[in-house]
Amino acid sequence: MPELKEIVRGLSDIERKSLASLHDESAIGAEELAEKANLQVDSVRRALQWLHEKGLAEIRETRKECWMLTRKGAEALEKGLPEKRLAEKCSQLARHGKEITLDDLKKEFGEEMSPALGTAKKLNWLSLGKTIQFNDEIFHASRKLLEDKQAYLKTVSLCCQVAEPVPAGGETFEEFRRRGLIERKENVTRVATITERGRKALALPEFASGQRKFVIDAPVPRIYPGKRQPYVQFINQVKRWLTANGFKEVPSPLITQEFYNFDVLFQPQNHPARTWSDTYQLKRPTHGRLPDKKIVEAVRVAHERGGKSGSKGWGHAWSEEIARKVMPASHCTAHDARQWVKDIKPGKYFSLNRVYRPDVLDAKHLIEFNQLDGFILGEGINFRHQLGIFRDFAREIAGATEIKFTPDYFPFTEPSVQLSCKHPELGWMEFAGGGFSRPEIPASLGIQEPLILWGMGVDRLAMLKMGVNDIRHLFSDDLEWLRNAPPVKE
Q: What per-residue confidence (pLDDT) applies to 348?
A: 95
126 three-class SS = strand
Please list the alpha-helical segments (H only) found in 123-220.
136-141, 143-161, 170-178, 196-203, 205-209
Residue 345 DSSP symbol: P
Confidence of residue 122 (pLDDT cuts 50, 70, 90): confident
Indicate the burial class of 381 (C-beta count within 10 angstroms; 0-12, 13-18, 19 or more): middle
Residue 195 DSSP symbol: -
487 or 264: which leads in pLDDT:
264
Cross-sheet strand order for the sheet of 368-377? 247-249, 347-356, 368-377, 451-457, 427-437, 413-423, 403-410
Q: Are 332 and 250 in contact (CB under 8 A)?
A: no
Q: Nearest Cα to 333, choosing from 282, 424, 277, 263?
A: 263
| Mean local confidence (pLDDT), 48-64 | 84
Q: What angle do CA 456, 457, 461 make, to 5 degrees?
A: 105
Least confident piece of the model among 164-168, 202-206, 295-299: 164-168
Q: Are 365 and 472 in contact (CB under 8 A)?
A: no
List of residues 6+ apart from 281 with CB closer than 8 A = 325, 326, 327
3-state secondary structure 451-463: EEEEEEEHHHHHH
Name the β-bridge partners of 347.
377
Q: Is the peptide bond before 285 cis (omega within 30 degrees of 0)?
A: yes
Q: Is the peptide bond before 450 cis (omega within 30 degrees of 0)?
A: no
Report the predicted TM-score, pTM, of the whole model to 2 decimal places. 0.57
250 or 426: which leads in pLDDT:
250
Q: Are 453 and 413 in contact (CB under 8 A)?
A: yes
Q: Are 325 and 285 in contact (CB under 8 A)?
A: no
Q: What per-residue confidence (pLDDT) applies to 333?
A: 92
Q: What per-residue confidence (pLDDT) applies to 434?
A: 93
**Mean pLDDT computed over every residue of the chain:** 84
Helix (H) or strand (E) holding 414, with range, is strand 413-423
Indicate the burial class of 9 (C-beta count within 10 angstroms; 0-12, 13-18, 19 or more): middle
CA distance linking residue 297 with residue 290, whole number of Å: 11
Q: What per-residue confidence (pLDDT) applies to 108?
A: 67
Percent of the chain with pLDDT over 70: 89
What does the pLDDT look like over 126-157, one tens digit per residue? 767 667 776 666 667 667 777 777 787 787 77
Q: Are 82 and 116 in contact (CB under 8 A)?
A: yes
Name the β-bridge partners of 133.
127
306 three-class SS = coil
| Mean local confidence (pLDDT), 311-327 | 93
Residue 85 DSSP symbol: H
Amino acid present at 386: Q
Q: Is the peptide bond before 205 cis (omega within 30 degrees of 0)?
A: no
Least confident piece of the model among 29-33, 211-215, 311-315, 449-453: 211-215
Helix, strand, coil shares of the chain, percent, nearest 5, are 45, 20, 35
CA distance linking residue 386 with residue 374, whole number of Å: 11
173 three-class SS = helix
| Mean local confidence (pLDDT), 316-344 | 92
Amino acid present at 59: I
CA distance linking residue 119 with residue 411, whole number of Å: 82
Q: Report the greatest alpha carbon distance in the chain.
A: 107
92 or 329: which leads in pLDDT:
329
Q: What per-residue confidence (pLDDT) applies to 273?
A: 82
Provide the pairing of β-strand 132-134 with 326-328.
unpaired
List of residues 6+ apart from 420 with CB closer than 8 A = 403, 404, 405, 406, 428, 429, 430, 431
Amino acid present at 294: K
Confidence of residue 1 (pLDDT cuts 50, 70, 90): very low
Q: What per-residue confidence (pLDDT) applies to 405?
A: 94
Tell me the CA distances in angstroms from 192 to 4, 5, 28, 49, one per residue in order: 20, 22, 5, 9
| Mean local confidence (pLDDT), 101-107 | 67
Confidence of residue 104 (pLDDT cuts 50, 70, 90): low
